[in-house]
Structure 1
Amino acid sequence: MQLTGNDKTYLVTGGTRGIGRTMVLELARAGARVVTCYRRDAEAAATLSRELKAIGGTHHVTQADVGQPDDIARLVDDVAERFGRLDGIVSNAGQITHTPVEDLSFEQWSEVIATNLTGPFLLVQHSLRLMERGASIVLVGSRVAQAGLAGATAYTASKAGLAGLTRSLCKELGPRGIRVNVLAPGVIETEATAGMAAEKRHRYEQMAALRRLGSAEEVAHTALFLLSDLAGFITGETINVDGGV
C-alpha cells in the first residue's frame, strides 16, 4: 500500500503557510496532485507555487476565503473542472482571536466560527460529489479543543465543534466508504512560534511529555497517514499530535 500516488488528487485549504504549507509539499513529494488556497498572502502563494513547480507534477494554488460560502463553492468547482475528482481533503485553514470573553464582539465570534467550523462543513458538503469509496477527509482541529485556552473562546469552541461534526459525518459517510477524522496538533514550530518569548516557549515545552515543540513535518506525516489506505479502518477519531500533553 502507498501513502499516496500519482493518480491521487487532494485539496488542502490554508496551504501556503505553516502546517498547511508543509502538508501540501509533502503530498506533492509523495506524487499526488494538490490543490490549495490562500486568503490574503499572495507572496506566500507565489513562493509555494515555485516550490511545487520544482518538485514536479500537476498542482494549483488559488485564492479563496473559506469563511465565505461562495469562495468554497468556487474552489471546489475549480477542482472539478481541473481534475474531476478528489481522493481526499484536508480542511486546514483557520482563524484565531485572542480576546477576553467580555470584550469578544459578535462579529469576531461569527468570523472565527465561519472560518473554523462552518467552512469545513461547507467544504465537505461541496466536495462529496467528487469523492468515491476510499476517499478520506481530515479536519485540522487543535489540542486546545480538549484543554481550553483563556482568551480564545471562539477558537476553542470552533475546534471542539469539529469533533462532533466528525462523529456524525463518519456515521453518515461510512456506508459510502468515506472516512472522516480530526487531526489535533499541539504547539508546533511554525512562523507563528518563531518569535515566541523564551519563557513562554519553555512553558509549552514542559507541557509535553517529549519536552519539545512538534514540527510541521510530524503533523503533515500524520495527515498523509490518515489520507492513505494505511488508515483504512480509522474513522470518526481525533488524533492528537501533541508530544504527550
Structure 2
Amino acid sequence: MDLELGGKTALVTGGTRGVGRGIVLALARAGVDVATCYKQDGEAVESLERELKEIGGDHHVIKADLADPAQIEALLTEVGSHYGHLDVLVNNAGTISHIPYAQLPLAEWQRIINTNLTAAHLVIQGALPLLHEGSSVVSIGSKSAEVGIPLRAHYTATKSALIGLTRSVAKELGSQGVRINVVALGVIETEALHALPEEQRTLMLKRYSDKTALGRLGLPDEVAGAILWLASDLSRYVTGATIAVDGGIS
C-alpha cells in the first residue's frame, strides 16, 4: 500500500539505534526526507548514514544532546533552515536506569526527567513554527506508564507525563490541523538486548515473550509500522491518543 508519504519531511530524535533507527529507515524507504540526531559518535551513526545514502533522499544525521536546551534549539534551527517545515515529528530519544525508589538520587531523577520529558516538550514547542495543517507529532511512550515497573519509578513517571502532555497539546493544536499521539511500547528486541550475555539474553527473551499475547518480543520495524500509519492520512482523525504497540503484554 502506498501511504503517499513521498516528499514529506520528518525529524526523529535519537534515531541511530534501536527503535529510533527502525523508524528513520522505514520513513526513508517510504520516501520521506528524514533528519535525526544522536548524542555520541560511533559505528551506529556511520552505518545509518551509509544506509540512508543507499536508500536515497535528502537525509541528515545531526549530533545533538537533547539534555541541553541550547542543543535542541540548534537542532531545530538546522532542521528548519534545511527543510523549512516538518510533516512528521517523532520524539524517540530517551534513557533509563534501574534504581530502587528509596535510593533514587535527585540528580538521577532530574537526568531522566530532563532527557525523557523536558526534552520532548522543548522539541515539540520549538518545532511549532515548522508544523502545519496535516503535521503529525508522535512521542514514543511505554506500557510501563499503565502498569508501573519496580526500579523504574523515575522512568515510568516520564512516560506517564508524556501521555498527559500529549492529550493537552492535542487540544491546543487541533484547530490548526496538527495531530499529536503517543505510541506506547512493550518490550522491543533491539541491539541492546543482543549485546547482553547469552544466558541473560535467553532468560529475558523467555520471560518477556511469555508475558505477551503473541508469545514474542516486538521488532523495531513493527513500531515503525505504527509511525508510518500515524504519519499518513489514514490516521487523520486520530489525535490525543495512546496507541499500544506491545504484543498484548501484561
Task: Give the letter aligned to residue 200 of structure 1.
Answer: M
Counterparts of 2:6 and 2:186, CA distance in 1: 31
1:89–1:114 CA distance, 2 compared to 1 (3 A): same
Contact 1:67 1:114 in 2 (8 A): yes
User: What is residue 118 of structure 1 aligned with on the other side?
Assistant: 118
Aligned-residue Cα RMSD (Å) equals 1.2
User: What is residue 132 of structure 2 aligned with on the other side?
Assistant: 132
Counterparts of 1:110 and 1:4, CA distance in 2: 41
Counterparts of 1:65 and 1:28, CA distance in 2: 23
Runs of 4+ in 1 over 4 A off after TM superposition: none
Task: Give the letter aligned to residue 139 of structure 2.
Answer: L
Q: For residues 49-97 of structure 1, what are the alpha-carbon distances to aligned partners after superposition, in whole Å with 9 as ceiling and x for unaligned? A: 0110011111000101111111111111001111111001000000101
Counterparts of 1:197 and 1:56, CA distance in 2: 35
User: What is residue 20 of structure 1 aligned with on the other side?
Assistant: 20
Counterparts of 1:217 and 1:115, CA distance in 2: 24
Counterparts of 2:4 and 2:105, CA distance in 1: 43
Counterparts of 1:130 and 1:190, CA distance in 2: 31
Q: Secondary structure at the match of 2:71?
A: helix
Counterparts of 2:80 and 2:167, CA distance in 1: 27
User: What is residue 171 of structure 1 aligned with on the other side?
Assistant: 171
2:215 maps to 1:244: no
Q: For residues 35-54 of structure 1, what are the alpha-carbon distances to aligned partners after superposition, in whole Å with 9 as ceiling and x for unaligned? A: 00001143211110011001
Contact 2:186 2:247 in 1 (8 A): yes
Contact 2:5 2:232 in 1 (8 A): no
Counterparts of 1:162 and 1:138, CA distance in 2: 10
Q: Which moved more, 1:65-74 or 1:195-204?
A: 195-204
Counterparts of 1:147 and 1:191, CA distance in 2: 25
Q: Which TM-score applies when normalising by structure 2? A: 0.95
Task: Give the letter aligned to residue 77 of structure 1.
Answer: T
Counterparts of 2:241 and 2:2, CA distance in 1: 22
Task: Give the letter aligned to residue 154 of structure 1.
Answer: H
Task: Give the letter aligned to residue 33 of structure 1.
Answer: D
2:49 maps to 1:49: yes
Aligned sequence identity (%): 50
Q: Secondary structure at the match of 2:142?
A: coil
Contact 1:2 1:228 in 2 (8 A): no
Counterparts of 2:216 and 2:122, CA distance in 1: 35
Counterparts of 1:32 and 1:202, CA distance in 2: 36
Counterparts of 1:207 and 1:171, CA distance in 2: 35
Task: Give the letter aligned to residue 141 of structure 2.
Answer: G
Task: Give the letter aligned to residue 155 of structure 1.
Answer: Y
Task: Give the letter aligned to residue 215 of structure 1.
Answer: L
